[in-house]
Structure 1
Amino acid sequence: MRLLGQILTDRGSKYAVSGVAVSSRADIDAALKQLKRDKSYAKATHNTWAALLTEGGPIKGDDGEAGAGMVIIRMLEREDLADHLIVVTRWYGGKHLGGDRFRHVQTCVRAYLDAL
């Protein structure tokens, strides 16, 4: 699992991004379990994730951040990046961000894709 760490902060909320190559739902589950072994990620408010599996198509988990997984899927599709899990982690800072939260997910995913 590649951890890029904290990418941005907005109104107290902190965002980080990480990812890893996967080929199945079992790989995704194992990667998420590994990520959450780090206590700070385990305590995060949201660990939103998505992957485009060659065998199985798009799969996502919003983890309470409704719609954020779809943002990741769309970006993976545009990049034509299959069999790769991207996780955007948010630690809630006490203030609602509205639509800005989707822009922050995009910023995190873009930072990860640029680092590949």
Structure 2
Amino acid sequence: MGVVLTDRGSRYAVSGAEVTSRQQIDAVLAALKSDRAYAKATHNTWAAQLPTGGLKADDGESGAGMVILRMMEREGLRDHVIIVTRWYGNKKLGGDRFRRVQDAVRAYLGAGGQHPA
């Protein structure tokens, strides 16, 4: 999707894909990070709902993976991974960082990234 929002210099992007295994998640992350801009991002936080349950990774953005996972659970989004990428803008956002993660996930879901099972 590219950059979907900015806040005090930080930029956020969101992407995702259908997945059914941890290996597929790793492949999606590797493909994303093959783009140099994403490889150099401060955080590539993600969550996934697999047939075996939910997985998440904060990638240094403590608590952000759970925010994504809870939103996916509420939407009933299964067999999918959502990745929120942040490029830090040298200003701390405090709790607003969670709102920006939520905004990015909402943008993804609203753009048709949602494929409920």
Q: TM-score, normalised by structure 2?
A: 0.95
Deviations for 1:35-78, whole angstroms, at most 9, x for unmatched residues?
A: 00000000000000000111x20100100000000000000000
Q: Where does structure 1 differ by over 6 angstroms across 4 or more consecutive aligned residues?
A: none
Question: Aligned to 1:74, which of 66, 70, 76?
Answer: 70
Report deviation, 1:33. 0.2
Unaligned runs of 5+ in 2: 113-117
1:112 correspondence with 2:108: yes
Per the alignment, residue 90 of structure 1 pairs with 86
1:5 correspondence with 2:12: no
Question: Aligned to 2:21, which of 9, 16, 24?
Answer: 24
Report deviation, 1:9. 0.7
RMSD value over aligned CA atoms?
Answer: 0.5
Quick one: distance in 2 between partners of 1:10 and 1:71? 18
Report deviation, 1:30. 0.4
Unaligned runs of 5+ in 1: none
* Matched-pair identity in %: 69
Quick one: distance in 2 between partners of 1:114 and 1:84? 15
Question: Aligned to 1:62, which of 58, 63, 77?
Answer: 58
Question: Aligned to 1:99, which of 73, 80, 95?
Answer: 95
Task: Give the aligned length.
Answer: 112
